[in-house]
């Protein structure tokens, strides 16, 4: 009967508008809920079957509520470093418990990023959900996101950072050395006075003889004397009018007598040179070494013979660090903070001294004087570092021996000395007995770290020194960057990444099922999740110190409230009108 269908249509209108009112009420109630997504009731008609010749029968209406999960809310700035919002697609992955997670434990997805530390140091939002991410490797400190396995995610905990001592095992250096750094006099000096030739009226062996004016330059070889030959060796350059004529290595015995020489013309492969003359043109024209002061020079080579040129064994940068009246002042130093096996703070310094070659630097690694048992000046190792013509590191030249990757090892306190051999075996550096600390092997990366060690024509500067030890000071702050890296900030300026926040994306986020705590669960409509690093593969980047506001617009909701109220009243009027008509029908019988 059409009157009955009209009454039932009115009832369906009441039910549908009640659902709409419920959605509006939910929206208004959550206008200040972080990350809340507004809901809306959409109406559709219900049609009864029948032929067009039959009396019309009302079908009514039904309401289907949808939540606009994919709608982006406005971001609001906050003062907390742990407040996070996602700028773009994706959800934070969360769990209801922080520890002992299994594959069967429920994972929830949320945009509510108001995280705080709980009493165990885990990041938990206001709904009690724990933030998941990829943790840093405890040894290397590296973070490797693995999107293929949900079980690779763990609850992010910052409560234990700094609580235990971990000795440093890896160091990455990013620094630049000035390519036009002047060569220090302790590395290379010219005989005589500045602005005048070292030697004048030097006759050659030509017929007739021609007199020349030469500069004679003594330079350190960067290798400890006495050298492997048993002699004290130095590099000698002979220049005429600023042009290099001959170069080579000369060696003096303990009495100061010249006993070896590789002095040859420029671009000629060094060989066993003469101990009395030097070829100056490659065609056999020579000059006497005596006339150059290389033999019998009373004062010419006095600084070299007296050990005043740089020598890593007797006149080094480490000597200068111990006593600034001795040794050679470095041109540049890089401080490398280390944490020992007890969590104590140690410093290894990389001292650099410009060598006589255009792309050559003399290098020393040293500990603080007094920190080593067998080297009072703290010297650990020496080498000659060279660079390519485009400023990149070419070789560390023995600074790390033959280790690959480049590393140093300092023996534990109390380690007995190596047995004396012939020839003498170098004693490895050993921590001082008073420190009582363990052996420490430290990989020092000068080439593969971000930037590495370079030589460009700009000021010498340290860009960064990254280490993986944890006991560098007290934890003062926790920060999260745009890429989702959670970093611990220590009171000595060291920053250590401890985790990376994971972001989950869905092919149809509007198909997710809402649950308590402003979170969502996977459904068939939403499709499965894809784990990604923030800002990668379509996932949104994180915005630290911000929160995503509710997507509710009060003006829209109040307008909907009015129209829903009117529609509800109208539906109730249908019922009362149909009731009156039925009553009239019943009155016919009377």
The domains located in the chain, with CATH, are 2-68+551-589 (no CATH), 86-162+476-546 (no CATH), 170-182+326-467 (2.60.98.20), 188-305 (no CATH)
Confidence of residue 375 (pLDDT cuts 50, 70, 90): confident
Q: What is the mean pLDDT of the chain?
A: 85
Contact assessment for residue 180 and residue 457, using Cβ atoms and an 8 Å cutoff = yes
Average pLDDT over residues 138-159: 85
Given a cut of 80, is residue 327 above it in pLDDT?
A: yes
Q: Model confidence over 489-528: pLDDT tens digits?
A: 877 666 788 999 999 999 999 999 989 988 999 999 999 9
Between CA 90 and CA 110 the distance in angstroms is: 9
Record the tokens describing residue 265, joined without a space: 């013309």
Average pLDDT over residues 390-403: 87
Given a cut of 90, is residue 95 above it in pLDDT?
A: yes
Question: To the nearest whole percent, how much of the chain has pLDDT over 90?
Answer: 27
Q: Give the pLDDT confidence score for residue 420 in this predicted structure.
A: 64
Question: To the nearest whole percent, how much of the chain has pLDDT over 70?
Answer: 92
Q: How many residues does the chain have?
A: 590
pTM check: above 0.85: no
Whether cis (ω within 30° of 0) applies to the bond prior to 548 is no
Q: Model confidence over 440-468: pLDDT tens digits?
A: 999 998 887 667 899 999 999 999 888 88
Between CA 419 and CA 305 the distance in angstroms is: 32
* DSSP 8-state code for residue 435: G
Record the tokens describing residue 192, joined without a space: 């005589």
Q: Model confidence over 264-274: pLDDT tens digits?
A: 887 776 656 78
Q: Can you point out the beta strands (E) in 111-204?
A: 115-117, 123-125, 130-135, 154-155, 170-178, 188-190, 199-203
Given a cut of 70, is residue 20 above it in pLDDT?
A: yes
Q: Give the pLDDT confidence score for residue 302 in this predicted structure.
A: 56
């Amino acid at each position: 009967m059409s009157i009955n269908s009209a009454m039932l249509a009115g009832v369906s209108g009441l039910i549908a508008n009640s659902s709409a009112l419920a959605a509006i009420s939910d929206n208004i109630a959550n206008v200040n809920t972080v990350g809340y997504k507004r809901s809306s009731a959409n109406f559709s008609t219900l049609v009864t079957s029948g032929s067009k010749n039959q009396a019309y029968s009302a079908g009514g209406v039904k309401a289907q509520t949808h939540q606009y999960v994919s709608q982006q809310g406005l971001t609001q700035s906050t003062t907390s470093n742990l407040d996070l919002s996602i700028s773009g697609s994706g959800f934070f992955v969360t769990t209801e418990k922080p520890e002992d997670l299994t594959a069967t434990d429920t994972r929830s997805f949320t945009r509510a990023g108001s995280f705080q530390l709980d009493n165990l140091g885990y990041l938990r939002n206001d709904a009690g959900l724990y933030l998941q991410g990829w943790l840093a490797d405890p040894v290397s400190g590296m973070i490797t996101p693995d999107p293929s396995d949900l079980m690779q995610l763990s609850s992010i905990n910052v409560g234990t950072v700094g609580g235990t001592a971990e000795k440093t095992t890896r160091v990455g250096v990013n620094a630049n050395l000035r390519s036009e750094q002047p060569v220090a006099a302790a590395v290379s000096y010219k005989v005589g006075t500045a602005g005048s030739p070292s030697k004048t009226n030097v006759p050659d062996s030509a017929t007739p003889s021609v007199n020349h004016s030469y500069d004679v330059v003594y330079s350190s070889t960067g290798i400890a004397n006495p050298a492997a030959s048993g002699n004290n060796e130095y590099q000698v350059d002979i220049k005429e009018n600023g042009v290099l004529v001959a170069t080579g290595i000369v060696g003096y015995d303990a009495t100061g007598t010249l006993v070896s020489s590789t002095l040859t013309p420029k671009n000629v492969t060094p060989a066993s040179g003469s101990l009395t003359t030097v070829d100056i043109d490659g065609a056999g024209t020579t000059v006497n070494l005596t006339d150059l002061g290389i033999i019998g020079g009373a004062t010419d080579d006095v600084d070299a013979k007296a050990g005043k040129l740089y020598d890593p064994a007797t006149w080094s940068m480490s000597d200068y660090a111990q006593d600034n009246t001795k040794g050679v002042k470095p041109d540049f130093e890089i401080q490398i903070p280390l944490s020992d096996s007890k969590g104590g703070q140690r410093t290894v310094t990389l001292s650099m001294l410009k060598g006589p070659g255009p792309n050559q630097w003399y290098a020393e690694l040293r500990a603080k004087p007094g920190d080593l048992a067998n080297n009072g000046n703290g010297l650990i190792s020496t080498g000659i570092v060279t660079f390519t013509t485009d400023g990149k590191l070419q070789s560390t030249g023995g600074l790390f021996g033959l280790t690959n990757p480049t590393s140093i090892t300092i023996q534990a306190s109390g380690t007995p000395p190596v047995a004396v051999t012939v020839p003498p075996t170098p004693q490895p550096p050993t921590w001082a007995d008073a420190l009582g600390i363990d052996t420490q092997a430290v990989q020092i990366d000068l080439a593969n770290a971000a930037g590495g060690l370079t030589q460009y024509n700009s000021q010498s500067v340290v860009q960064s020194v990254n280490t993986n030890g944890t006991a560098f000071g007290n934890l003062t702050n926790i920060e999260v960057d745009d890429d989702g890296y959670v970093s611990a900030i220590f009171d000595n300026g060291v920053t250590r990444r401890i985790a990376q926040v994971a972001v989950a994306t869905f092919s149809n986020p509007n198909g997710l099922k809402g649950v308590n705590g402003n979170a969502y669960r996977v459904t068939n409509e939403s499709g499965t999740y894809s784990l990604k690093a923030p800002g990668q593969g379509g996932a949104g980047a994180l915005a630290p110190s911000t929160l995503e506001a509710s997507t509710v617009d009060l003006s829209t909701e109040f307008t909907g409230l009015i129209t829903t109220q009117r529609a509800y009243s109208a539906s109730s009027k249908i019922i009362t009108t149909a009731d009156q008509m039925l009553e009239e029908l019943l009155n016919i019988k009377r």
